[in-house]
């Protein structure tokens, strides 16, 4: 099991690769929301994201505003509950999330068997 300092080093390497890339620079909050949307098998809502990440709904809404402007996700009214809005994946967001996964994987040490 890697130590905390090793994990921090892996994360730093992944972040450095992200900022060197040509993609969008996202805040930690935006990254947390984006990765939650793309890692979840169930549809996400603002309410669900706020609850799952233990942050306020207005903070989620502001982050979604930016992610939507960058075409990394989009809002869709929930037909079964008019008070709720579903956060949907986009092609651009899927590409970004896949790239993020590749960057993190590349920062991890290779396991020897």
Helix (H) or strand (E) holding 76: strand 73-77
Q: What local confidence, expressed as pLDDT, does residue 109 receive?
A: 78
In a domain, 78, yes or no: yes
Q: Which domain holds residue 58?
A: 26-98
- Count of beta carbons in the 10 Å neighbourhood of residue 109: 9
Supply the DSSP symbol for 43.
P
Q: Rounded to an integer, what distance in angstroms lies between the CA atom of residue 31 and that of residue 25?
A: 9
pLDDT in tens, the chain (113 residues): 888 998 898 889 888 888 887 777 899 999 999 999 999 998 999 999 999 999 999 999 999 999 999 999 999 998 888 888 999 999 999 999 999 999 888 888 776 44
Task: State the pTM of this model.
Answer: 0.85
Q: What local confidence, expressed as pLDDT, does residue 111 receive?
A: 61
Q: What local confidence, expressed as pLDDT, does residue 28 receive?
A: 92
The CATH code of the domain that includes 42 is 1.10.10.10
In a domain, 76, yes or no: yes
Q: Dump pLDDT digits (tens) for 24-42.
A: 789 999 999 999 999 999 8
Q: What local confidence, expressed as pLDDT, does residue 70 receive?
A: 96
Looking at the 3D structure of the chain, how many domains does it have? 1
In a domain, 65, yes or no: yes
In a domain, 48, yes or no: yes
């Amino acid at each position: 099991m890697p130590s905390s300092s090793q994990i921090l080093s892996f994360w730093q390497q992944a972040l450095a690769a992200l900022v060197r890339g040509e993609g969008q620079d996202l805040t930690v909050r935006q990254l947390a929301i984006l990765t939650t949307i793309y890692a979840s098998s169930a549809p996400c809502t603002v309410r669900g994201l706020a609850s799952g990440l233990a942050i306020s709904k207005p903070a989620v809404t502001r982050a979604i505003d930016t992610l939507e402007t960058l075409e990394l996700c989009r809002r869709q009214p929930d037909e079964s509950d008019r008070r709720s809005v579903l956060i949907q994946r986009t092609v651009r967001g899927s590409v970004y999330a896949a790239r993020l996964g590749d960057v993190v994987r590349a920062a991890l040490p290779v396991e020897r068997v």
